[in-house]
Amino acid sequence: MEKLSKALERLDLEHPFRRPTSSRDPVSTPRYTYLPLEKPDQIRILKLHATKKRIECSLEQTNVSDGGYQALSYVWGKPEKPFRAFVLSDNGKEFGYISLTENLQSALCDLRDANEVKSKVFWIDQICIDQEGEEKNGQVRMMGDIYRHATRVITYIGPAALDKKEERRGIALLNRLYAHFAPNYEPIFRSNSLAMLWPHIPSLPVLTLPEDLQDKFSYDEVEYVFRGWRWLLHVAYGEWAQRLWIVQEQCLNREVVMLHGTNLLSWDAVATLPLMFGLELLPRPYVELFERKTLSDSGCTLQEIDESVYRIWHTRRLQRKIRRPNAVNSLLTNMSVHQSLQCWDLRDRIFAMLAISEDADELGIVPDYSKPSDLVFLQASVRVLETADGLELLVFALRWTRNRAQSEKAPSACKAHPRTSTIKHPPRFHVNFSVLVLKGRVLDRIALTTSAIFTPRVVVDITTIQKNSNFMMNWRAVLLYLGITKRNMASLCHVIIGTRHWAPIDREGFSAKESAVFAFWSLCRCWVQENNSHEFPIGPEVDSMLKQCDNFLQELAKALGLAEGGSGTDIFDAARPLSEEEFTACDNLIPYALLQGRSFCATEQGRVCNVMHEPEKGDLVAVFEGGDRLFILRPVGDRFRLVGEAYVDGWMNGEASEGLDPDEVDYDIELV
């Protein structure tokens, strides 16, 4: 172990795959001057030469539909371009150089030296597009065709580990785990979402690591490196998985492979790693160690990467089933699913998604980098509202413009308005597109609201205790305002879930409302016991919160007639162990709970609601034609500002409009 520790000290724990940086190439040749493309449907392709001292290539023009090239998918990295590729003629005449980023220099060296990459003909945007000319707009419009017509896409995920043994260990572990968890992939695909799969993880065919890995498994940092886990995590959560353009590049070609150093890896084997880590089928402590050391400065969380990679993997698997690459989502859906991924240019939030969006032709959005980003987003928003069947854009805009931490999950789509999927009165704009006019009506007004609580995903500590206690105090405030009754407890349970598709576990002899009440009671019971089982100092402030939670549990017990003796006035024994039925009810509720950054409110009409973005007393609950959910509005003179969406128990399936003709009750509502 002493030798192992000394070897560990010599390793760069933070950057195990960093390629030694060479000095800038001394050159006497001029910068390469691009010849204009001869036809609108032409592209440039490069042939990489076998020279070792520097990167050399030749360029030629070809019709994009002719194919015959491999498209490179990679991360540009830092914008500086200290390296150079030299463009030569067929007879070796030097035409000039093209500046390269450090990441592309690394990729070109590995492509050149990779024995498994037989053909050295590639399309690479940084070289094949004149980055300083006017052709970029036209080439970006062709990106979909460029990746579709390539013989395959090579995704470069970085240089090999400096320690060759670690590289070999990592590749062996990757291939072994991919084969080991193979029975899980079809049920994971059918779930359509990692988040939706969480309650059903125990039903997956394979839940444990291979036996020998379990026997020797350790969370020690030495084991983290020398058994291949560090390599695995750097590959799974590298920059490739955080880059926005990667999405279309992976979805437009049937054959995609990964290149790590000079080693070709299975795309599916790498892409399923974030899925297995996200579902905690692979060791979570190593993920947390990696996150602290490597991903702390990233704009993405591990959970966001997990879901984004899942969507790419799911799309590719679906395409294999239907035997053709095909766009399966709208532009808004694609932007929403991958909103955490990184891009240098904000306009690429839209442009990078067009080639894989099924409504791209109808929207008619053309990439144009001469337009400022705010104009690109405004024009795209107008087109989406003009062409869409609903108001999905409003929900997306609310989630996009606020802190992502507030909106990891959203209520499921419902049928809040009788005209949800078809709009008789399309949205209108006036005052130079600064005012949006929608048909709808105000239903209610917020009478009481609670502060939003954020839910860090950590082991049980004082932060978790405070979080659980704050939620319970918010629920207590709502119930005290409306009355601690079974009806209000059932409503609160439903808005905690935020979906009409969830149902509490059936209890023999109990109604659906009584089962929802029991689920809410079980959650509070579970949290009180969890909070009171702490074994670390908590301080007087947190201790006071715990006592309030205990009192709240007693109030619920009295309302439910669960106190000792059944009189409703005795004290309930909070220390009594949870029954198996209570455990089951709590486990059925927790995975679906819509809590992150949400406020729980009571309305003037006595309804319970779950709202995003911290509403205020006096805000209005409104329904719009084309809206699949309810919205919160704040008066601004004669107009309104959109605060957020809301889940209001009893109104999510159009109950507020039963027996009413929208043409008679709806009116123009102007949003600013």
| CA neighbours closer than 13 Å in the CB half-sphere of residue 328 | 18
Tens of pLDDT, residue by residue over 260-316, are 999 999 999 999 999 999 999 998 777 877 777 676 555 678 888 898 999 999 999
- In the chain, % helix, strand, coil (3-state, to 5) comes to 45, 15, 40
Both ends of the chain: CA-CA distance in Å? 66
Worst-scoring range by mean pLDDT, 8-12, 325-329, 499-503, 569-573? 8-12
AA identity, residue 116: E
In the three-class reduction of DSSP (H, G, I as helix; E, B as strand; rest coil), residue 83 is classed as strand
Q: Rounded mean pLDDT of the chain?
A: 86
- pLDDT digit string (tens) for 218-262? 555 555 555 788 899 999 998 899 899 989 999 999 899 999 999
Distances (CA, A) of 369 to 30, 133, 137, 352, 471: 27, 12, 6, 12, 46
Torsion on CA atoms 49, 54, 55, 58, rounded to nearest 10: -50
438 backbone φψ class: left, alpha, beta (φ>0; ψ -120 to 50): beta
* Token pair belonging to 96: 């000039």
State the CB neighbour count (10 A cutoff) for residue 618: 12
- Tell me the whole-structure pTM to 2 decimals: 0.79
Residue 359 CB coordination number (10 Å):
20
Tokens for 69, please give them: 């090239």
Element (H, E) at 334: helix 331-337
Question: What pLDDT, on a 0 to 100 scale, did the predictor assign at position 474?
Answer: 96
Span 122-172, pLDDT tens digits: 999 999 999 887 888 899 899 999 999 999 999 999 999 888 888 999 999
Can you say how many angstroms the Cα of residue 396 is from the centroid of all Cα atoms in its chain? 13
- Residue with the bigger pLDDT between 585 and 500: it is 585
**Residue 612: alpha-carbon gap to chain centroid:** 18
As a whole number of angstroms, the distance between CA 43 and CA 58 comes to 14
pLDDT of 672 over the 80 cut: yes
Domain residue spans of the chain: 42-156, 165-253+272-326, 401-449+602-671, 462-594
Tens digits of residue pLDDT in 572-615: 888 889 999 999 999 889 888 888 889 999 999 999 999 988 89
Give the Cβ contact number of residue 637 at 10 Å: 7
Please state, as a whole number, how many other Cβ atoms lie within 10 Å of the Cβ of residue 352: 25
Dist CA 329 CA 359 (whole Å)? 8
Cβ neighbours of residue 591 closer than 8 Å, sequence gap 6 or more: 195, 198, 199
Could you please report the per-residue DSSP string of 169-207?
HHHHHHHHHHHHTGGGHHHHHHHS-HHHHGGGGGGSS--
Cα–Cα distances in Å, from 461 out to 29, 202, 464?
62, 26, 5
pLDDT at residue 569 in the model: 58
| Residue 594, φ and ψ in degrees, nearest 5 | -100, 90
Q: How many CA atoms are closer than 13 Å to the CA of 491, on its beta-carbon side?
A: 25
CB 84 within 8 A of CB 54: yes
Predicted local confidence at residue 458, as pLDDT: 45
Please tell me whether residue 600 adopts helix, strand or coil conformation. Answer: strand
b/e map 252-263, b = 16+ CB within 10 Å: bbeebbbbbbbb
Taking the CB of residue 47, how many other CB atoms lie within 10 A of it? 16
In one letter, which amino acid is 150? A
Nearest to 471 by CA among 487, 451, 490, 491: 451
Name beta bridge partners: 46: 59, 122
Q: For residue 49, what is the DSSP state?
A: -
